[in-house]
Chains A and B, each alone.
Chain A
């Protein structure tokens, strides 16, 4: 049998929230058979209400694999739909309706990225939108879905996907997974935190007993019951030109053609609709609407001493482009790579905070670009040298700057800029060197392939029904 982990014998998770159960499941599975106790306590102070649906990016599949979960079970038990990307309604200003898909947009021609050729064709009079070359975008718009082929050189394999999940059902799913791997739900809620110089000394429960552990995970949500008490001044408001104080949401009928989250951005509000199997959850950021939860955005260094904040205790970002689960998943992956083996964790803490702060800030930069669509100017984006550099380089010549800890890659950033109406001023001379007729021909071929790839897929609603039928057959 394996040797023990000498330093961490007990981990205490604060908050029976989605991130609390994700943390419990992840850590319980990671430390299975090592004898480490994973205990989860709810907080006495209830978590603020949250919208009923949540988006998962393609990267969450690695998290599910680590938990040995079958995606089909998640889709069936969490009322999920498959997520090919996000569609933005037209406006404000000149911004066209546009899909940000997890997908290739066309293909390179003569080593120049397709976007260079697309700009050229557009200047020559083509009216094909950039996203019409994306098989993921086309499939999403048509409400079609099936798993991509393994071969990424084929348009039928040139897209990826995430999930739209019912938050309550997914939380419950994670809870059952955590319990299955040996985590324990403790009944007594946490009332207050007992702090010391080095971090958390213990958690005073509602029954006045003190619960102690070697490592504390703050999964209490925005209230940040643990890390907020340790470091009250550490919260930083997110840099932004647009700030909303409030978010509200409402249930709407199910989307007949699910596959994409639907976003509309205008001067007063941003609304985001997430399609689930049985209903659609429509969220609105709008200071004039009823407040259902605080929409202010920000983050803090998540690790302090013996306490690591996971999820909203670390960072709260608006639900645009699926940040919440990404922050949880990245926070847990980073914790795993720097898992403490001694009592002195200052080195790990510094590296963790460096990586997580970079990751969160770069994710937020992507959101800021999307929120500024139609009128992307430095003054509309807010502070930050990195986003300014990305904008400068793309607007100048279609160059996509990428950084370590980026959530979104080159294709996504290029799509976001183009979809937001930022078109490069210049075409690269190497792209211009290709004879225009050859480029037209190649582009027409790509268009056909992207169209064909999407059209060949079943309707997602049929695909989901077939999945349910499988489950019923298995049960019966």
Chain B
């Protein structure tokens, strides 16, 4: 019986395309499947630009790096990385607004009632500060400090997590070195043709421009938006979400850093989209994500240029995209990972996360040469859910606005939204209730951060939050606020943490 599994095992994995998608996939498969009899090949062309600009990430990436055995100090040094405690959103619900969506909890639930509910009670009476004041990661970020979280769940320093800002191109290079050291073969060149076998239409091989033919059992499409394998060959189809996420362009440019890096990303709403500000060690990554219906490429570039905090440090690059996902992320013997699988704008730093999710689920559902349809269907179900969760959360940022100062904002403010999101918003508006789900991104605190940050204030709240006496509650809140402020103020500056990491990397 064991022999039959062996016989039917996938031996040759061909990854079409490099960049973060290709190399994260290669590195993970090399690490996880290194002990099995597997051969991994990655095809990339130096000539094809990868999208890589400064990128923000989610805490899940730390787990990815840990799984691969990557040391944080080495990693930060290689990718010019800085710490990310959350994202500051400016001018979204209203011009002048600013809120941070952090990686961490607000307060603690008491007697089975959520902290948010007590905050809503006090807020109605005008007896409480911003909810951010009860978030340790927000305070640490605003004070531009950082220290790693504590493990002890009773400590206030355990109430947050963190991620990174990275140069994605450098991360891809780093993972390339990692992968090649573990036996991944890299083939330089462009793919001229994708050859399917007769009968079932499975991909049999790729023909390079050089004429070389690369055969494989499992093909991973990391060729970016065009989806050379999954779309151009296998015609998986694309589900277009641009009605709800109308931005379809981005112009990106680096600039010099104006000062020490902030430990958070900034996303500033503009008249036809939003601008990102991603602090790296060596410079700042910037970009304007916009909707071409409402602003021209030239005007978008000009807007970006007018809003840089330092001198331009590289040529602006333009990108075109459509928000949405491949109808089938896995079709036949081809799995799309990264931009080939779909695109959601980087408003909540989900691009690298979706790569990681794809790689993780692929490893769980690793196929055999027969390619069982049950594996394919399950992969597509799980990844569809991941994409839909992110989509709904992103749409919330746009739709929950009071801005009426441009046609773009008028559109997103009034557009019809997915039923799943409308239902969630109605529940929150009624009483600040947020569903708890276990699969996919964005837990309870994330929804709290964005609802309140976007000025969605519930009409009512959980009546069970009325039970404690007013003075006791106010005192508890005041104590917590003080504890959080004191704890944050006691941490070293963010740049000190980075310096420590640099020193550790050089020493090793």
Q: List, in ascending order, chain A residues with CB within 8 A of B35's CB.
A: 433-434
Q: List, in ascending order, chain A residues with CB within 8 A of B463's CB.
A: 5-8, 339-341
CA distance in complex: A110, B463 (Å): 48
Known pairs A341-B462, A351-B427, A401-B378; list 4 more (Cβ under 8 Å): A123-B2, A342-B460, A348-B430, A429-B36
Are A337 and B378 in contact, CB atoms less than 8 angstroms apart? Answer: no
Are A336 and B112 in contact, CB atoms less than 8 angstroms apart? Answer: yes
Are B436 and A432 in contact, CB atoms less than 8 angstroms apart? Answer: no
Are B437 and A404 in contact, CB atoms less than 8 angstroms apart? Answer: yes
Of the residues A2, A341, A392, A399, contact of B467 by C-beta under 8 Å: A2
Are A124 and B438 in contact, CB atoms less than 8 angstroms apart? Answer: no
Q: List, in ascending order, chain B residues with CB within 8 A of A426's CB.
A: 5, 368
Q: Is B306 an interface residue (CB 8 A)?
A: no
Q: Is B479 an interface residue (CB 8 A)?
A: no
CA distance in complex: A429, B366 (Å): 8
The A373-395 residues at the B interface (CB cut-off 8 A) are 389, 392-393
Q: List, in ascending order, chain A residues with CB within 8 A of B112's CB.
A: 66, 336
Among residues of B, the one whose C-beta sits closest to the C-beta of A351 is B427
Contact flags B173-207 to A (C-beta < 8 A → 1, else 0): 00000000000000000000000000000000000
Q: Is B210 an interface residue (CB 8 A)?
A: no
CA distance in complex: A351, B432 (Å): 13
Among residues of B, the one whose C-beta sits closest to the C-beta of A1 is B469
CA distance in complex: A187, B6 (Å): 72
- Min Cβ gap A329→B in Å is 13
Are B467 and A33 in contact, CB atoms less than 8 angstroms apart? Answer: yes
Q: Is B298 an interface residue (CB 8 A)?
A: no
Residues of B bordering A, CB below 8 Å: 1-2, 5-6, 9-10, 32-33, 35-36, 112, 363-366, 368, 372, 374-375, 378, 381, 423, 426-427, 430-431, 433, 435-439, 460-464, 466-470
CA distance in complex: A150, B150 (Å): 21
Are A396 and B9 in contact, CB atoms less than 8 angstroms apart? Answer: no
CB pairs A–B below 8 angstroms (17 shown): A2-B467, A5-B464, A33-B467, A123-B1, A338-B431, A338-B433, A348-B431, A351-B433, A392-B374, A396-B375, A397-B375, A404-B438, A426-B5, A429-B10, A429-B366, A430-B33, A433-B33
Contact flags A1-17 to B (C-beta < 8 A → 1, else 0): 11111111000000000
Q: Is A427 an interface residue (CB 8 A)?
A: yes
Are B430 and A347 in contact, CB atoms less than 8 angstroms apart? Answer: yes
Are A393 and B462 in contact, CB atoms less than 8 angstroms apart? Answer: no
Q: List, in ascending order, chain B residues with CB within 8 A of A393's CB.
A: 374, 378
Of the residues B363, B364, B435, contact of A399 by C-beta under 8 Å: B364
Q: Is A466 an interface residue (CB 8 A)?
A: no
CA distance in complex: A358, B363 (Å): 29
Are A2 and B466 in contact, CB atoms less than 8 angstroms apart? Answer: yes
- Min Cβ gap A183→B in Å is 17
Q: Is A120 an interface residue (CB 8 A)?
A: yes
Q: List, in ascending order, chain B residues with CB within 8 A of A341's CB.
A: 431, 460-463
Q: List, in ascending order, chain A residues with CB within 8 A of B469's CB.
A: 1-2
Are A34 and B374 in contact, CB atoms less than 8 angstroms apart? Answer: no
- A3-B470, A336-B464, A339-B463 given; A124·B431 CB < 8 A: no
Are A402 and B366 in contact, CB atoms less than 8 angstroms apart? Answer: no
Are B374 and A396 in contact, CB atoms less than 8 angstroms apart? Answer: yes
Q: List, in ascending order, chain A residues with CB within 8 A of B1's CB.
A: 123
Contact flags A143-161 to B (C-beta < 8 A → 1, else 0): 0000000000000000000
The A1-43 residues at the B interface (CB cut-off 8 A) are 1-8, 30, 33-34
Are B438 and A433 in contact, CB atoms less than 8 angstroms apart? Answer: no
Are B427 and A427 in contact, CB atoms less than 8 angstroms apart? Answer: no
CA distance in complex: A341, B460 (Å): 7
Q: List, in ascending order, chain B residues with CB within 8 A of A430's CB.
A: 32-33, 36, 363, 366
Q: List, in ascending order, chain B residues with CB within 8 A of A448's CB.
A: none
Among residues of A, the one whose C-beta sits closest to the C-beta of B426 is A347
Interface centre among B10, B33, B427, B464 (most CB of A within 10 A): B464
Are A347 and B427 in contact, CB atoms less than 8 angstroms apart? Answer: yes
Q: Is A428 an interface residue (CB 8 A)?
A: yes
CA distance in complex: A428, B32 (Å): 12
- Min Cβ gap A227→B in Å is 22
Interface centre among A7, A393, A426 (most CB of B within 10 A): A426
CA distance in complex: A392, B10 (Å): 21
Of the residues A120, A339, A389, A428, contact of B464 by C-beta under 8 Å: A339
Q: List, in ascending order, chain A residues with CB within 8 A of B36's CB.
A: 429-430, 432-433
CA distance in complex: A350, B419 (Å): 14
- Min Cβ gap A121→B in Å is 10
Q: List, in ascending order, chain A residues with CB within 8 A of B426's CB.
A: 347
- Min Cβ gap A341→B in Å is 4
Are B467 and A432 in contact, CB atoms less than 8 angstroms apart? Answer: no
CA distance in complex: A432, B423 (Å): 45
CA distance in complex: A399, B365 (Å): 9
Are B2 and A120 in contact, CB atoms less than 8 angstroms apart? Answer: yes
- Min Cβ gap A312→B in Å is 25
CA distance in complex: A8, B1 (Å): 64
Among residues of B, the one whose C-beta sits closest to the C-beta of A2 is B467
Q: List, in ascending order, chain B residues with CB within 8 A of A428's CB.
A: 366
Q: List, in ascending order, chain B residues with CB within 8 A of A7's CB.
A: 463
Contact flags A314-341 to B (C-beta < 8 A → 1, else 0): 0000000000000000000000111111
Q: List, in ascending order, chain B residues with CB within 8 A of A427's CB.
A: 2, 5
- A393-B374, A399-B378, A428-B366 given; A34·B467 CB < 8 A: yes
Of the residues B33, B427, B461, B468, contact of A2 by C-beta under 8 Å: B468
CA distance in complex: A82, B2 (Å): 41
- Min Cβ gap B308→A in Å is 44
- Min Cβ gap B380→A in Å is 12
- Min Cβ gap B302→A in Å is 46
Contact flags A427-459 to B (C-beta < 8 A → 1, else 0): 111101110000000000000000000000000
CA distance in complex: A7, B466 (Å): 12
CA distance in complex: A120, B4 (Å): 12
Are B462 and A432 in contact, CB atoms less than 8 angstroms apart? Answer: no
- Min Cβ gap A395→B in Å is 9
CA distance in complex: A341, B423 (Å): 19
- Min Cβ gap B265→A in Å is 30
Q: List, in ascending order, chain B residues with CB within 8 A of A34's CB.
A: 466-467
Q: List, in ascending order, chain A residues with CB within 8 A of B435's CB.
A: 351
- Min Cβ gap A151→B in Å is 15
The A351-369 residues at the B interface (CB cut-off 8 A) are 351
- A124-B2, A426-B368 given; A337·B375 CB < 8 A: no
- Min Cβ gap A138→B in Å is 27
Are B433 and A337 in contact, CB atoms less than 8 angstroms apart? Answer: yes
Among residues of A, the one whose C-beta sits closest to the C-beta of B372 is A396
Are A5 and B2 in contact, CB atoms less than 8 angstroms apart? Answer: no
CA distance in complex: A4, B368 (Å): 63
Q: List, in ascending order, chain A residues with CB within 8 A of B364's CB.
A: 399
- Min Cβ gap B436→A in Å is 7
- Min Cβ gap A349→B in Å is 11
Of the residues A3, A342, A392, A396, contact of B466 by C-beta under 8 Å: A3
CA distance in complex: A389, B375 (Å): 11
- Min Cβ gap A115→B in Å is 14
- Min Cβ gap B401→A in Å is 22
Q: List, in ascending order, chain B residues with CB within 8 A of A340's CB.
A: 463
Q: List, in ascending order, chain A residues with CB within 8 A of B6's CB.
A: 432
- Min Cβ gap B359→A in Å is 14
